[in-house]
Amino acid sequence: MKITGPVTIKTSGTRFGAWMTDPLATTRNNRVWYMDSYTNSKIVREYKTIDDFVSGVVSQTYSLPFKWEGTNHIVYNGSLYYNKYQSNIIVKYNFETGTVLAQRALEFAGFHNMYPYTWGGYSDIDVMADELGMWAVYATNQNAGNVVISQIDPDTLQVLKTWNTEYSKRNAGESFMICGTLYITNSHLSGAKVYYAYSTKTSSYEYIDIPFHNQYFHMSMLDYNARERALYAWNNGHQVIFNVTLFHVIKTEDDS
């Protein structure tokens, strides 16, 4: 894997926040959602296009029924999935109906800076999606504060399967899933690199060294978008995008 960029899309908001598009939306309906700050807020801004986002033309504003915690939210198939404030509950909020379709506690998951990423900011629970579906990344006492990966049913929020890793959550800068593999960075500061990969297909891990340019020196969100093969990031009050190049190992069978 190679990570190039970033391209700075916009400079706005506080040092911490989240912004995203829906990986299951069509390219003609590629709305942007924007959630500034990691705590004490429940306002989500929607923009019809990236261009509208850049020029600041808000198409809609949503007031969520509960505040969020952290910056690790996703929009997936028209709904926002986020960590409810001061809890280990994941909330599924549908934009079209303006209602909560599901909420469920992530059993044993630490929250409210019990097991955050290195930067803090109540980043204990990270909801993400890749080519294989939806995931939650978090840590538990039972796994000694190390990273736990759970595959999640996007309708019910039930845990389908769980993997326990041996990587300390508090030593992880950020993480993202690509094709069922979790990639973890070793810091949120400059010099950070992708350092560890855990494959849910083989339940095995390896240490890796994939550099990326932490241009504005502080990373509070890093999330993979499978449709765009890109990483959306919140880089110290800048909304940036990294491109991801995936290298596939092609196995050939020798017939002789």
Domain coordinates in residue numbering, the chain: 2-245
pLDDT value of residue 247: 84
- DSSP classification of residue 150: E
pLDDT band at 27 (very low <50, low <70, confident <90, very high): confident
Q: Taking 80 as the threshold, does the pLDDT of residue 227 lie above it?
A: yes
pLDDT band at 132 (very low <50, low <70, confident <90, very high): very high
Share of the chain above pLDDT 90, in %: 94
Nearest-10 Cα torsion for 132, 198, 68, 158? 50
Least Cα distance to 1 among 181, 216, 129 occurs for 181
pTM recorded for the entire structure: 0.96
Find the mean pLDDT for residues 88-117: 98
pLDDT value of residue 252: 55
Averaged pLDDT of the chain:
96
pLDDT band at 256 (very low <50, low <70, confident <90, very high): very low
- Residue 149, CB half-sphere, CA atoms under 13 Å: how many? 26
pLDDT value of residue 251: 56
Q: Taking 70 as the threshold, does the pLDDT of residue 200 lie above it?
A: yes
- pLDDT tens for 149-197 read 999 999 999 999 999 999 999 999 999 999 999 999 999 999 999 999 9
Find the mean pLDDT for residues 131-145: 98
pLDDT value of residue 255: 45
Find the mean pLDDT for residues 62-77: 98
Alpha-carbon Rg of the chain, whole angstroms? 17
**CA angle, residues 110, 113, 115, in degrees to nearest 5:** 50
Q: Which bin fits 154, alpha (ψ -120 to 50), beta or left (φ > 0)?
A: alpha
Pair of tokens at residue 188: 């949120």
Find the mean pLDDT for residues 82-87: 98
pLDDT band at 147 (very low <50, low <70, confident <90, very high): very high
Find the mean pLDDT for residues 61-87: 98
What span, in angstroms and rounded, lies between the C-alpha atoms of 44 and 194? 30
pLDDT band at 253 (very low <50, low <70, confident <90, very high): low
Domain 2-245 CATH assignment equals 2.40.128.630: yes
Find the mean pLDDT for residues 107-114: 98
Strand 219-225's sheet: what is its strand order?
A: 2-11, 238-245, 230-235, 219-225
Contact assessment for residue 179 and residue 199, using Cβ atoms and an 8 Å cutoff? no
